[in-house]
Structure 1
Amino acid sequence: MDEHQAIYRLKQGDIRGLEWVVNQYHEKAIRVAYLIAGDTQLAEDIVQDAFLHVFRSIQQFDASRPFAPWFFRIVANQAVQASQKQARQLSMDDDEEDFDLVKLLSSRGSSVEELAEASELSARLWEVIQKLSPRQREVIVLRYYLEMNEKEMAGKLNSAPGTVKWLLNAARKKLSALLKPERMQP
């Protein structure tokens, strides 16, 4: 089964279409939700809700267009909403679960020193990304994880290209400012 067949089946109410979609997009959806929400359990809940949303609203999807951008837009929107809701409900010093970027980065390094540096870098970067607002984390994920260009991001965010540029620029500046003090230390 391919994407087109899965969407067709879904539109016919056949759950096997959803099974294909889940198998195809689950792992990447968890990563997207986690990168925006910053919580493993919340990311899993977001993705489950996103798949249910797909099943309930598949009739709204234009099958002549690619499915992945539509689906990941749902995941990103739900992650931002959940993050904002959680931020209102939880204190800032709740325990965080670590995102295992080390495995991802370690597959690229060959020496112990490179692995240690990659581990330190990923931990610091993760810490700094969590200080961004959910909306800023969303644009960082869309740009650098999903590799969308600004035009694609504008379409997915239902925003003007100038707004996307501003959001991305603000997120980059904040990341830079948060990382700068560490660079200045001897």
Structure 2
Amino acid sequence: MPVLLLMTLESRPRQDHGRYQAQYDELAQKNQEELDKCWSQQIEESTSVVTTQSTEVGAAGMMLTELRHTVQSLEIDISMRNLKASLENSLREVEACYALQRKQLNGILLHLESELAQTWAEGQCQAQEYKALLNIKVKLEAESTAYCCLLEDGEDFNLGDALDSSNSMQTIQKTTTSWLVDGKVVADQ
């Protein structure tokens, strides 16, 4: 069996539709104003935040620049300290090298002074030997002369008299020389 459905539509007056339209328009206007107010407030807040952040970024940039200058100053200071330390090390090495050379040269100088003192002593010995030989030569010449004179004069010759006469003419002079090196007697003549 077929079902029969009965519907009735009531048609409301057009006034209701106009009233709904007015309410909708009023609600839309109110929402638009609230939205504009909210957007304005958010824009102001964002502008304030951006301004604050821009100021902070500027301050941070200035601080960064100052820090860069400080870092550069510190790097220069470190570089100068390293250079100073390097130069001090070089100076110590040069001083050590010169001290070693000075010590070696002092050793050579002491050796040469010792050789000089020895050579001087040998020279003094040779001079004394020369004087002794010269004295002997003078004695021999005196004896020879005395012998020749005696032979020519025909007098009796006495060797003792000839020796006594040559001894009276001889003069020996002795000189003592001492060599000091660093307060020590190196040679004594």
Bucket of the pairwise TM-score, normalised by the shorter protein: under 0.3
If the length of structure 2 is used for normalisation, what is the TM-score? 0.20
Of the two, which has the highest radius of gyration? 2
